[in-house]
Structure 1
Amino acid sequence: MVVKIGIIKSGNIGTSPVLDLLLDERADRPNIDVRVVGSGAKMNPEQVEEVVPKIADFDPDFCIFISPNPGAPGPAKARELLSAADKPAIIIGDAPGAGKKDEMDEQGLGYIIVKADPMIGARRELLDPTEMSSFNSDIIKVLATTGAYRLVQTTIDDVIAAIDAGKEVELPKLIITAEKAVEAGNFENPYAKAKAIAAYEMAAAVADLDLKGCFMLKDAEKYIPIVAAAHEMATAAAKLGTEAREIEKSNDTVCRTPHMGDGSVGGKVSLMEKPQ
């Protein structure tokens, strides 16, 4: 059986650019077929209302909607549309989504909330296309090196496996904390684990600074240094995450979970061994 997955991207968080790639990293996984539709950078209700129904043409077995702040008007409209559809659906969002988990439960939606996927410093004095790209690359590095992406991957893989086996789908109800991320990271060295926790927590704290700089402060003399500081924190977090992985590499204990020839998830630690 080939499981068909429809992914709807609206706006952008650090998980958005790689979400579909996490499920098929070598582009040879035989048991899934993925289609992605998106509304670009904008995530207003009018864009969402246009884009979400388009995934129905693919007739997916389940859908994933990913955006910043699942409680914002556009993502809220997407939740409404997906809740009314006859397909299982999962919402992936950043920390503000945790406040909407009860609503998503009532709507019959699954959710994955990535706490260390922070809001960007969207002030014109700081944010140009280069800064935007640099920030997102730092967040991608944090989420990859701490284990957060692996937890997203394995959580969605559980849904795929259930559908593939003809079982009832249990939608995830997951808020990814630092502890849950590093558990999925399978760090063997305690210093590497400590650095990964620090990286995740720092990235999560970036959102607080950017929220303050983007929405709470009105004086440019005050908000420009704040959003710039948030981006510096993101870079420092990415450096810590890289250091954590380098420690594991030096000990030949990097955990890898590739998809196997039958679509299942394999595992290995030593670089030179074959995944099982």
Structure 2
Amino acid sequence: MFYEKKVDLRSRRKMTDFLVNHFRYSTMNSWNLSKSYANKIKISTLGLTHEQASEAFDVLSADGWWDEISFPIDEFTAECSGEFTIGSNGRSGGYLVLYRSAHESTGHKSWCRTCGQRNFAKVFTIPAGNEGIVAAEVLRTNCTFRAEVYLEQPSIQDLKFPEVQKTALVRKYLAELKSQNYTLGNKCGKCGAYGDKGRVNYEHEPRILRVMSGGMDEDKDYEEWSIGQLRDRVELVCRFDRACDAIRDNFIDLIDNCKVVEEVVMVPRNVKRLVCAVGAAV
């Protein structure tokens, strides 16, 4: 353990001392005056040997090094059900900071199986039989009319069942289709794909993680907290410290077992040039 500390969860005083004395850092820029629990991860503070520190600066010059070591953040966020996460802050990203967070839906309801384009409307699957005729008419007119008006539409008038049943179906689909944004077909507005290659509804709507920039426990009087509240917060901060330890361990493993190799990468680019007829002056 480098950042994580053993805390006696039976002692109010020791838990309070741990929270009060834990290192803190700004959640945004210093001018926003909000701070949260944090750990310093600058090269000079990681407890590296001279040789490791020299290698570390080489690693920082390589592309993708952070992606190789930062997966404990995803694990921590998942353990906290998205209510807390870890972010880097500071001029050179030299601090890991504990943030409040929350999962939020992007609002997308469907996606294209050909180009991947997302859409905010659901694809409406028309039921079979007479019910499908009613549903299609309601959707085609964008739920514009009252139920009585739909009964006068030729497609619904031709149906061979009682008007009471027709009215019930119309009202059912008016309520359902007004509450959601639907399209009748599944054609993609970007690439034009449809049918088996077109849009399909998400089983689970995509979500993003929104990170709050506010501080944590800055104005709290721990003496007023119950022993249970103190214990929950200490356990959270200890999990945060443990995740920081895992990131540090990953970084040390990276500098001990990997080396930075410089390569020349050819990047194709489009150019325009003149092509002249034979004998023409250039």
Q: Which TM-score applies when normalising by structure 1? A: 0.24
| Larger Rg computed on CA atoms | 2
- Greater per-residue helix proportion: 1
